[in-house]
Chain A
Amino acid sequence: MRHEFRVTVGPVGFRVGSDWRRPLAEMAALYDGYPEAAIPDFTVRLEAQRPWRRFIRPSVMIGGDYMLPDAAPLSLDHGLLAAEMGMNLQMALGQRRFLLLHASAVERDGKALLMTGHSGAGKSTLSALLGERGWRFMGDEFALIYPETGLLHAFPRPVSLKNEAVELFDSVDANRLGPVMRDTPKGTIRHLRPPVDAIAKMADPAKPALLLFPRFGHDPAMRDMGQAEVFVRLTQASTNYVALGETGFAALTKLVQSVPTRAIDYPDSDAAIGAVERLWGELA
């Protein structure tokens, strides 16, 4: 393809090809400091729908090794988002080495805190905030469990900050922030490059020590969860649990049986961080 960008995130290499220079220039800036990928695990393509749509009302089709047949194209202003979505798609549809959980993760003292829940629950923002406050950021989107060891592998992509969460990070070094993308299918989005140590240590796995189901916008509350409920909710949070067969079942069972789990409701980020620190001290 005309333009190409390669990057390794945690244990996964990507190659992104594009008909336009701009999305990849934005990627190169955002992924500054990440390693290259000589033989990538996945290919993503950003293609014009028709040849002339490179120039006239350019619209970006997301393609690659794994594709959704009816994915809607995005405008070129959202080209960086298209690349990120393409990478997510490869992971969601093609990842078979790791049990993939839709969860964010941070690490301290070699132990990992996993946060999962419905979209909008705040797991992504929370992991990014913790990453700025002494924890090692391991990823805001996918947690990778290696079935043979049960260890969590980092997938520290730039955080996708949405809507109100964008201004929470106004004070970070400006070169860590991507372009502000307005009116995307998910509202306003801006990417934040993780702290330097998160990238430097991205090859180091950690042992899962605490699993939380946070929920933003509610009065503070905490609830124990039974293993059966945790198990079922994690199967729903995994895109490849079924495809991994017995391996996936064994890995998930082990995780659920060995890691303490709580559901927490929180009204604002300060309350959430307080609750996380307290629970970590008690349980991890």
Chain B
Amino acid sequence: MTDARLLTRALSDPASTLAFDSADWTALIAMARAEQLMGSLAHRLDGLDLPEPVARICAAARVSADHARRQALWEAEMARRVLVPLGVPVVLLKGTAFVAAGLSAGVGRSIGDLDILVPRAALDAVEKALIEQGGWEWVKDDEYDDAYYRDHMHELPPLIHQDRDRMIDVHHTILPLTAGRSPDAEALLADSEELDVSDGGGGLRILSPPDIVCHAAAHLFADGDLAGGLRNLWDIDRLLRDFGEHDGFWEVLGERAERHELVKPVGRALRLTERLYETPVDGEVVGKPRTNDNRYASRLLARDGWGRETRKFLRLTFYIRSHWLRMPPTMLARHLWTKWRK
């Protein structure tokens, strides 16, 4: 049975594509697009002797990624202009942070929303400034959803910009409040680092390297149903290759994972990225292989050469799990009931 191993291998070892025939290439491109990894793949394949159609598809994908990067940085700048005068730390997260900091994980990456982290105490001021001065507005006007976000989530209800049509997610921590694990948001902010910006647009921050990895692992394995998981795992591979050589990185990563109650997700992330992307990993936090790792790998790779989702039942179990992770059972029942009645 074909699965996305073709894609993970091409990403970690681009030279493996030298033996590809037309059918392999066709499948690879469909998978990469479906997993939002075409831009990353195009950069990895750059410089290889590629068949002409593949070369032009990759060139186009790099154009797309350049555009995504430019747009993401512009959104960050727009938020910076509104928020920095408030005097609160503003930490960029995920894709925007990767491109702003020049990390390998940002190379060719597709970027959707702008994600930022601010102190919980500053949420009201941040929201007010974005709406009154920045031109953002609420996406949905639904009392239940709004209250749900404010009471139980790790972020404000999503805001969208009136003119630019781009979303901003304002986080005050990195997992839903109902998740059972409580990352130390104050420590995330305290250890964050000011972005080195030479053009004068200072004031934005990114998480410390171990915290970036903790967040990526939390996002992938402690929240959500693993949709887009191969891309998120590729982020982790690139981050670990960037940071892994730093002195003491792996020990600190273990300490931070413990502090944020993320030892399991971080260990799982390390084992799976080692398995799928051959990432060099180290330290105790890797943990022992668990039988469940196979299920995770199988779910992450559930994609065929037409770009279709496969392994429907396995996907469903992860979907159910994602709700379970976010909510205690009675709360889940109440939530589904309210949603169902609409």
Contacts and interface: CB of A to CB of B under 8 A. Distances in A.
A208 to B, nearest CB: 22
B77 to A, nearest CB: 16
B57 A244 contact: no
A180 to B, nearest CB: 30
Contact of A243 (B30, B67, B308): B67
Contact of A39 (B34, B53, B306, B308): B53
A17 interface: yes
Interface stretch (B58-66, B261-269, B284-292): B58-66
A15 interface: yes
A245 interface: yes
A239 to B, nearest CB: 13
Interface string A228-245: 000000000000000111
Given A38-B53, A40-B26, A97-B56, A17 B306 contact: yes
Interface in A73-121: 94-97
A45 B308 contact: yes
Contacts of A66: 33
B307 A43 contact: yes
Contacts of A63: 308
Nearest to A37: B53
A269 interface: no
Contacts of B22: 38-39
A13 B54 CA distance: 11
B53 A43 contact: no
B53 A41 contact: yes
B25 interface: yes
Contacts of B59: 97
A227 B54 CA distance: 37
Interface in A225-284: 243-245, 247
A1 interface: yes
B335 interface: no
Contacts of B60: 94-97
A1 B26 CA distance: 13
A109 B232 CA distance: 53
A180 B64 CA distance: 38
A66 B30 CA distance: 10
Nearest to A66: B33
A122 B166 CA distance: 35
28 contacts: A1-B306, A13-B53, A37-B53, A38-B22, A39-B22, A39-B25, A39-B29, A39-B57, A40-B26, A41-B53, A41-B56, A41-B57, A43-B26, A43-B33, A45-B308, A63-B308, A65-B33, A65-B34, A65-B307, A66-B33, A95-B60, A96-B61, A243-B63, A243-B64, A244-B63, A244-B67, A245-B67, A247-B63
**Closest 7 interchain pairs by CB?**
A96-B60, A39-B53, A65-B33, A96-B63, A38-B22, A43-B30, A39-B25
Interface of A: 1, 13, 15, 17, 37-41, 43, 45, 47, 63-66, 94-97, 243-245, 247
Interface of B: 22, 25-26, 29-30, 33-34, 51, 53-54, 56-57, 59-61, 63-64, 66-67, 70, 306-308
